[in-house]
Structure 1
Amino acid sequence: MKKVGIISQARMTSTRLPGKVLRPIGGRPLLAYHIERLQASGLPVYLAITTNATDDPLADFAEARSLPVTRGPEADVLARYQQCAAAHELDVIVRVTSDCPLLDGGLITQAVQTYLAADNPRLYLSNVLERSYPRGFDFEVFSWELLEEAHQHATTASDREHVTPYIHQNRSGRVDFTHVTRPTDRNAYRLTVDTAEDFELIRRLIEEYQADTLGAEELITLLDAHPELVALNAHIEQKKL
């Protein structure tokens, strides 16, 4: 049996909205919603944070919830993933980011089942290369083999910071791909938190619509029905790699 784990990267020093992952909504930190929705997948969840003292509150958060945490370089996030996966002897890694509080654990479960059925350590499976889900539902699934290969061979600062470009740009020439898509494109919706406007949308969704109890398709239906909510952060541009 392959050991599968979800690794979420987090830090307190976000450039556009510092400390965002511990900002409270409904009396609970944003990160609590993120972790609980990941745990709904039934897979173990690990937090990969930096060695900076500024991330000590994240370590405290993890300790209070018996959540395994590893600490590594701030800029070299690829090294953080490699260290975490090695420490927990993961065969398959699901990569997510902690600024996505409404990630759907059920969607990840289905993706991992598809990945495992393929039985291909050279496979990269994700919903981020061919986008049809809202930003905020992003996940990538790949093997320890591909992660270790990227760790050994990726050299640019951008490759190290963004973890998977070496893999998904197929620098080795030996990567296979599966894209998780939905029939109707909703990638223009933003359910990730990078700015104050993003945070306000998530706050309203959780406090007014109990979004933390809804699955991906239910959330998309909710946004379809409320263009005034979509408008709150529709003008925000995603930071480029």
Structure 2
Amino acid sequence: MRRVGIISQVRMGSTRLLGKVLLPAAGRPLLDYHAARLAGSGLPVVLATTTEAADDVLAAYAAAHALPCYRGSETDVLTRYHEAAQHFGFDVIVRVTSDCPLIDGELIGAAVGRYLAEGNPRAYRSNGVVRTFPRGLDFEIFSAELLAEAFAHARLPYEREHVTPYLKTTLAAAGRVALRDEVWAGGDLSRFRITLDTSEDYAVLRRLIEEHDAASLPLPALLKLLPAQPDLMALNAHIEQKTT
């Protein structure tokens, strides 16, 4: 049986919002909600942080919360993922980022089920290529085989920092990766941001959690809540997602 695991990349450094993952909402760090909601997938969850001294606090957080942790390169995140996957013996990797405190584990678990049912180690499944979900629910699923290929051959700094561009561009263009999209049947909600990148994003997430109990909502209820709060969701509607 193929061993599937979620690897969440996390670090304290951020050019827009320093230490963002440990910012509080309802008396708990946002990283608490991220880890708790990922647990709904039924899959092992590990944190992949850096060897920088600033991230010692995240290694301590992982130890205190019984979360397996791997520490690697700060800038070569592709290598960090490859090493973490090898360290934990994952055959299939679900890549997520820790700036998604309202990520949905059940959504990920269902997508993993479809990935495994296909039985194609050269498939790449994601809800972020054709985007219908709000930003902040993103995940990618791919095999350790594909990850090792990217690790061995990706050369551009962008490809090393963002882990999967080599899979989605170079290998896909050569017909060596089969792209599979996960879309939301309820329509296009990609205009909404429930990710954590700026102070405006933090204000939205904090109010969603503290005023609407968003961290406890199942996905359909969460996605129904967003368009019902136009004033709140307007607070970060102007933010452009950082891509480099």
Give me the TM-score of the superposition, normalised by structure 2. 0.97
Give the distance between the partners of 2:221 and 2:192, measured in 1 at CA: 14
Matched, 1:165 2:161: no
Say which of 195, 218, 222 aligns to 1:192. Answer: 195
Give the distance between the partners of 1:33 and 1:240, measured in 2 at CA: 24
Post-superposition offset of 1:173:
3.3
Amino acid at match of 1:180: E
Post-superposition offset of 1:226:
1.1
After superposition, where does 1:88-167 map in structure 2 within 5 Å? 88-167=88-167
Give the structure 2 partner of residue 213 of structure 1: 216
Give the distance between the partners of 1:118 and 1:88, measured in 2 at CA: 23
> Which shows bigger deviation, 194-203 or 214-223?
214-223
Give the structure 1 partner of residue 181 of structure 2: 179
Give the structure 1 partner of residue 51 of structure 2: 51
Identical residues among aligned pairs (%): 57
Give the distance between the partners of 2:92 and 2:169, measured in 1 at CA: 19
In structure 2, the gaps of 5 or more residues are: none
Post-superposition offset of 1:203:
0.3
1:51-78 deviations in Å (ceiling 9; x for gaps): 0000001001000011100001100000
Give the distance between the partners of 1:143 and 1:229, measured in 2 at CA: 38
Post-superposition offset of 1:47:
0.3
Post-superposition offset of 1:178:
1.0
Give the structure 2 partner of residue 62 of structure 1: 62
1:54-104 deviations in Å (ceiling 9; x for gaps): 000100100001110000110000011001000011000000000000000
Give the distance between the partners of 1:240 and 1:94, measured in 2 at CA: 20
Aligned length: 241
Give the distance between the partners of 1:136 and 1:48, measured in 2 at CA: 18
Give the structure 1 partner of residue 5 of structure 2: 5
Post-superposition offset of 1:170:
3.8
In structure 1, the gaps of 5 or more residues are: none
Provide the secondary structure at the position in 2 that maps to 1:70.
strand
Give the structure 1 partner of residue 239 of structure 2: 236
1:122-180 deviations in Å (ceiling 9; x for gaps): 00000010000000000000000000000000011100000000011143531011100
Post-superposition offset of 1:40:
1.2
Give me the TM-score of the superposition, normalised by structure 1. 0.98
Amino acid at match of 1:187: S
Amino acid at match of 1:208: E
Aligned-CA RMSD value: 0.8
> Which shows bigger deviation, 178-187 or 130-139?
178-187
Post-superposition offset of 1:182:
1.4
